[in-house]
């Protein structure tokens, strides 16, 4: 089973999509075991499983990656789409564009403090497309 999910994000940062994914799985794959694969169809955003309890972990990750891959680096030649575009491509290459999560009895087998995040690397609001494949 394959579905496309469109997620609207207001800005750069980690945005929880756990609820959206969980709702689709419970509706489409109720009570079954299987595997959920998520794939983001963009080169300037990524997917991540990370702590969902303390927001400081999310903020620390965002700050750390922004420090690691700064904007306005004079080495960048891909600058046509703005100062955040090439750093967004680098950030996406360092993180994940797909995730696989087991489904047990119709529920994502995430740990107690784990959530699924769309990591938007551009500053502007965006609609991001995620392909969700569920199989058993």
Alpha carbon distance 123, 27 (integer Å): 33
CB-side neighbour CA atoms (13 Å) of 16: 14
Rounded Cα gap, residues 35 and 132, in angstroms? 10
**Domains, in order of start, for the chain:** 2-135 (2.60.120.460)
Which tens digit of pLDDT belongs to each residue from 4-46? 999 999 999 999 999 999 999 999 888 899 999 999 999 999 9
What are the CA-CA distances from residue 110 to residues 35, 49, 66 (Å)? 12, 9, 27
DSSP 8-state code for residue 17: -
Q: What is the pTM of this model?
A: 0.94
Closest alpha carbon to 5 in 50, 121, 120, 18: 18
């Amino acid at each position: 089973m394959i579905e496309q999910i469109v997620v609207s994000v207001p800005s750069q940062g980690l945005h929880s999509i756990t609820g959206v994914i969980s709702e689709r799985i419970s509706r489409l794959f109720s009570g079954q075991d299987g595997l959920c694969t998520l794939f983001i169809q963009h080169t300037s955003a990524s997917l991540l499983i990370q702590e969902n309890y303390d927001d400081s972990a999310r903020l620390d990750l965002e700050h750390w990656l922004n420090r690691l891959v700064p904007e306005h680096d004079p080495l960048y030649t891909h600058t046509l789409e703005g100062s955040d575009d090439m750093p967004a491509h680098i950030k996406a290459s360092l993180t994940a564009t797909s995730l696989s999560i087991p489904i047990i009895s119709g529920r994502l087998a995430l740990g107690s403090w784990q959530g699924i995040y769309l990591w938007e690397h551009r500053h502007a609001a965006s609609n991001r497309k995620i392909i969700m494949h569920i199989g058993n």
